Amino acid sequence: MLTWPHEDTDWAPHLAAVETVYADIAAQTSSFEKLLVICRTHLHQTTVRQRLEAAGTVMHNISFSIAPCNDTWVRDYGPITVIDGRTPLLLNFRFNGWGDKYPYNLDKMITQQLSNSGAFNGSSLSKIDFILEGGSIECDGEGTLMTTTQCLLSPDRNPGYERSDIEYLLRILLGVKRFIWLDYGHIIGDDTDGHIDMLARFCDRQTIAYAACEDQQDEHYCELRAMETELKSLRTINNRPYTLVPLPLPAPIVNDAGDRLPASYANFLIINKAVLVPLYDDPADSIALKTLTDCFLDRKIIGIPCRSLSLQNGGLHCVTMQLPAGVLQ
């Protein structure tokens, strides 16, 4: 899924640049799998279709749906899907703009609107009275969920919920068998309270790629080294150390006000037979591509220039949400 940016979103000052990124994501993804593109109006859909065609998108793999949005971070308000037996079940968790930081009156309605319009091919949608953003959790497909205490225990999301309450709920809803809670790790400029998808990601059930910092003068150094120490202490379900794969940080990216923006190669996207990797026009791009090539030997590694996505404090994984086979026609 992609929610396409437009002039009434915060992308307005950078719309041309960010639409180029979206078109690149769509064209690459459509070569491997189906893609649902959410547009604000039918007129908007017409212009988006033209842009996709010009980008070489495989149009028979594209479907469109109409839904107005506040913003385009569909990772955090799109459905989180589990498989119930062999049937996809879409879970529509509550969304509150990352703890009431930004407007979300439209975004919180999108998943239900898509379901009502038939965009999910009749898949069941279950409304969950709990705030959970897709970027805040990372699962290995074998029952392990990795997250950060900073985000899931934030009092601005689910006040009154203790760690044990959250674990109990997610065991039931997501089939989680074991939890990894990281107490450290932060990417400067990330305003999600520490989403895991900017920090550490499963490449398989025993391999974790993570954002690392070797420069002691960098403001990330202490937090990311502490997170690295945490990761080194973890054990797999078979009580073995994880294979840990450090990913470099790109050189600082700043906005016009001089504020450092978030950028992380850990924000990659796994799709069918490929992995899309964010690039930042930085010498570290080639290191990240080579590192992730070694992690995903059975998939094609494709770089996507994503520097402009940092302008609104997110990245490649953040603007996408995967759906399992059978959900899209």
Report the pLDDT value the prediction gives residue 249, as an integer from 0 to 100: 97
Residue 188: half-sphere exposure toward Cβ, Cα within 13 Å:
17
Contact 66, 45 (CB under 8 A): yes
Three-state SS at 188: coil
Q: Is the pTM of this model over 0.75?
A: yes
At 216-272, the pLDDT tens digits run 999 999 999 999 999 999 999 999 999 999 999 999 999 999 999 999 999 999 999
Report the pLDDT value the prediction gives residue 264, as an integer from 0 to 100: 98
Contact 112, 97 (CB under 8 A): no
At 6-47, the pLDDT tens digits run 999 999 999 999 999 999 999 999 999 999 999 999 999 999
At 52-86, the pLDDT tens digits run 999 999 999 999 999 999 999 999 999 999 998 88
At 193-214, the pLDDT tens digits run 999 999 999 999 999 999 999 9
At 179-192, the pLDDT tens digits run 999 999 999 999 99
Report the pLDDT value the prediction gives residue 84, as an integer from 0 to 100: 84
At 124-172, the pLDDT tens digits run 999 999 999 999 999 998 999 999 999 999 999 999 999 999 999 999 9
CA dist 141 and 169 (Å) reads 18
Report the pLDDT value the prediction gives residue 262, as an integer from 0 to 100: 97
Strands 62-66 and 35-39: parallel
Look-up of token digits 């898509």: 114
Report the pLDDT value the prediction gives residue 43, as an integer from 0 to 100: 97
Q: How far is CA 120 from the centre of its chain?
A: 20
Q: Which residues of 73-106 are buried (b: 16+ CB within 10 A; e: fewer)?
A: bbbbbbbbbbeeeeebbbbbbbbbbbbeeeebee
Report the pLDDT value the prediction gives residue 261, as an integer from 0 to 100: 97
233: burial class by Cβ within 10 Å (0-12, 13-18, 19+)? exposed
All domains in the chain, ordered by first residue: 2-319 (3.75.10.10)
Q: Residue 329 pLDDT more than 90? A: no
